Structure 1
């Protein structure tokens, strides 16, 4: 009988050959495993704290943006609290030393913002920062501003206390005007510096800087309604300029800053500059400081003057109920000085954390102006 070769000892041979006789041992027909099974070794649990949160479903883009900013704000506040708590005792950046903030009145019925029992002081004069009796809303907003601070270090940053900085400047200007009634006409003092600084913005006023007229060769210069950027700027500027030339500076001529196709700004007539300079020199201290902040925020003297005249307790002309519904407020002023930005972002989109931050900051600045110049009108004009 023919001898049959033994099966190779390879794990790949799992089935017997067909020509292997049935009398062959079964052990040779199977794959043999000599490796012993390995037992898993559990590791000790070293993590502390609660278990991780359950996964959440994906939110929309708007929800993710809001959640991310909320987390960033929480982390920022946590870091500020940690820095304030680790400061050495006696330093100026330690945690706030006051607990309660309140609004009180002095003997002359003016408002004072008290940090516990001590009145808030002007950082320049070191005197108590008094708010006129006709501005209770400003005093309340000041108290809220200081109640939101978490450390003394924050109180040294002007961008965190915008109402305090503008109120302190108006307070200093009012004291200086009381000492020198002819500071502006004499060419000295803070009032003279403010008037001359603001007058420089008239030649490059944002409201008067219009884009070149569109040409037939560039149909993309118009939007879906067939309106160009220049048309939009002119339509926005006309009612503001009409109000100023009829009610605030009667008879003055306000010309566009840029001629069609020109890159060099044109100066306003000398008579126009003289009238506007005299008007600014005669403003009360609170109105002049509010005008200054509005000009610096909008880069436009015309828009700032329109906003101050609208909300000032001395310069407004009075409104009926129908007219008050369409008053020139924060949104109108912000749109008037941002027409080009609105036009470009409408076509190309906004940059996150840039355009939106600028818009909110602009509205915050205009809001502080309205609080500073508005009031109940109970105090007499200096």
Structure 2
């Protein structure tokens, strides 16, 4: 058998896999096959197998099927962003208190007008409660007591429907009640207790007086319940809870005092007056002095003396004490405030040679820690400022309730 020349042309037989072509390629040269004329019939069949494999490797084009139809795009590892420093944060325009109050009143008026328009368009409304049925409000003396009249109708208790009769020695309270009802715009407003807070407080005092006149024990159930509730504040009194001693980095005021120093000085002034003129002979200690977690109880006998003093107050005084305690979270400050302004037998305001313990003094004394923190970190609008004014409003209503011209000393 002769040797195959590498440069020899080979012709593949025509068929379904080989269409009868002549190749000259390096792959076929490496097979070292003999030319077709020199191959015997037996060798032809043997040679066709590698030739078929070779033709498939050489002649068939390679098809690539992509797995997606989107255009190939290189990743952008450095996106284009704005250059330069970030913009300044928005600054709220400064406005004084009067502008803020005027803005809120305008918003409230707009909301009220929108509500009235919606009710009118939907056919809703207060019916007979939509408009106030009185034009003038006046105060008259009837049978030795003061009464508030809505035109010719006397003001009545919202629950018992009894006529509200105010002692003749409290003309300021009667005038304040008349003003409160004169500011109402509809009879429906009279059913909202937050719009008539002074009326609610006065009716509370009248309820206590009615309970006192009910046949029964020496101390009515209402008084006993009030005394029990108020004594709970003695164990967590805001005047008697002091901050821990100041550290090296704690804030101090212009006088060089820490929060604890201010709390201690304020509490000592109030407690000293009470233990001298109101509850003589007892000692009131701080319930939290900064060194403990749980409040400490007062010495034995202190709670009994304070409870006896509370139950001995008249109806207007105990109602005022309850309101002042709930407003300032302090029974000590409330007791000091009531004895300063009351006209009853427990009045001790004339014994104070210095400045009177008024609404502002009581509000500041019961809000020392809040004022200290807001002075350092700022106020939350519609939260701290609203609570600040609400405490003063409630203490002012207590002063009107207990004060009068018939001072008993």
SS at match of 2:212: helix
Map of 1:95 onto structure 2:
131
Map of 1:254 onto structure 2:
284
Structure exhibiting the larger radius of gyration computed from Cα positions: 2
Instruction: Give the Cα–Cα distance (whole angstroms) in 1 for the partners of residues 162 and 112 of structure 2.
Output: 31
Instruction: Give the Cα–Cα distance (whole angstroms) in 2 for the partners of residues 84 and 316 of structure 1.
Output: 51
Instruction: Give the Cα–Cα distance (whole angstroms) in 2 for the partners of residues 243 and 144 of structure 1.
Output: 35
Q: How has the CA–CA distance of structure 1 residues 310 and 267 changed in structure 2, closer, same or farther, with 3 Å as cutoff?
A: same
Instruction: Give the Cα–Cα distance (whole angstroms) in 2 for the partners of residues 237 and 162 of structure 1.
Output: 29
- Runs of 5+ unmatched residues, structure 1: 1-58
Moved over 6 A (4+): 83-87
Instruction: Give the Cα–Cα distance (whole angstroms) in 2 for the partners of residues 126 and 176 of structure 1.
Output: 16
Using the TM superposition, give the Cα deviation of residue 350 of structure 1 relative to its aligned residue in structure 2, in angstroms: 1.3
Map of 2:392 onto structure 1:
363
Q: How has the CA–CA distance of structure 1 residues 77 and 136 changed in structure 2, closer, same or farther, with 3 Å as cutoff?
A: farther
Instruction: Give the Cα–Cα distance (whole angstroms) in 1 for the partners of residues 330 and 235 of structure 2.
Output: 10
Cα root mean square deviation, aligned = 2.5
Give yes or no for the alignment of 1:333 onto 2:362: yes
Map of 1:317 onto structure 2:
348
Using the TM superposition, give the Cα deviation of residue 93 of structure 1 relative to its aligned residue in structure 2, in angstroms: 3.9
Map of 2:158 onto structure 1:
123
Map of 1:226 onto structure 2:
256
Give the one of 193, 204, 207 matched to 1:169: 204
Using the TM superposition, give the Cα deviation of residue 284 of structure 1 relative to its aligned residue in structure 2, in angstroms: 0.3
Deviations 1:4-35 (A, max 9, x none): xxxxxxxxxxxxxxxxxxxxxxxxxxxxxxxx
Using the TM superposition, give the Cα deviation of residue 263 of structure 1 relative to its aligned residue in structure 2, in angstroms: 1.4
Instruction: Give the Cα–Cα distance (whole angstroms) in 1 for the partners of residues 350 and 120 of structure 2.
Output: 52
Give the one of 378, 381, 387 matched to 1:352: 381
Q: How does 1:155-234 map to 2 (within 5 A)?
A: 155-180=190-215, 182-184=217-219, 189-215=221-247, 218-234=248-264
Map of 2:77 onto structure 1:
none
Using the TM superposition, give the Cα deviation of residue 258 of structure 1 relative to its aligned residue in structure 2, in angstroms: 1.1
1:202, 1:300 within 8 Å by CA — same for their partners in 2? yes
- Give the TM-score normalised by structure 1: 0.76
The number of aligned residues is: 315
Map of 1:22 onto structure 2:
none
1:84, 1:94 within 8 Å by CA — same for their partners in 2? no
Give the one of 153, 157, 178 matched to 1:143: 178
Using the TM superposition, give the Cα deviation of residue 180 of structure 1 relative to its aligned residue in structure 2, in angstroms: 3.7
Give the one of 274, 279, 282 matched to 2:312: 282
2:339, 2:349 within 8 Å by CA — same for their partners in 1? no
Instruction: Give the Cα–Cα distance (whole angstroms) in 2 for the partners of residues 195 and 84 of structure 1.
Output: 46
Using the TM superposition, give the Cα deviation of residue 209 of structure 1 relative to its aligned residue in structure 2, in angstroms: 0.4
Map of 1:13 onto structure 2:
none
Q: How has the CA–CA distance of structure 1 residues 308 and 66 changed in structure 2, closer, same or farther, with 3 Å as cutoff?
A: closer
Q: How has the CA–CA distance of structure 1 residues 194 and 318 changed in structure 2, closer, same or farther, with 3 Å as cutoff?
A: closer
Deviations 1:46-69 (A, max 9, x none): xxxxxxxxxxxxx96226534422
Instruction: Give the Cα–Cα distance (whole angstroms) in 2 for the partners of residues 160 and 189 of structure 1.
Output: 29
Instruction: Give the Cα–Cα distance (whole angstroms) in 2 for the partners of residues 194 and 360 of structure 1.
Output: 25
Give yes or no for the alignment of 1:61 onto 2:61: no
Give the one of 236, 239, 255 matched to 2:269: 239
Using the TM superposition, give the Cα deviation of residue 182 of structure 1 relative to its aligned residue in structure 2, in angstroms: 3.4
- Runs of 5+ unmatched residues, structure 2: 1-92
2:243, 2:289 within 8 Å by CA — same for their partners in 1? no
Instruction: Give the Cα–Cα distance (whole angstroms) in 2 for the partners of residues 265 and 145 of structure 1.
Output: 41
Deviations 1:172-216 (A, max 9, x none): 1111112247352xxx5211111111111100000000011123x
- Give the TM-score normalised by structure 2: 0.72
Q: How has the CA–CA distance of structure 1 residues 273 and 75 changed in structure 2, closer, same or farther, with 3 Å as cutoff?
A: same
2:288, 2:294 within 8 Å by CA — same for their partners in 1? yes
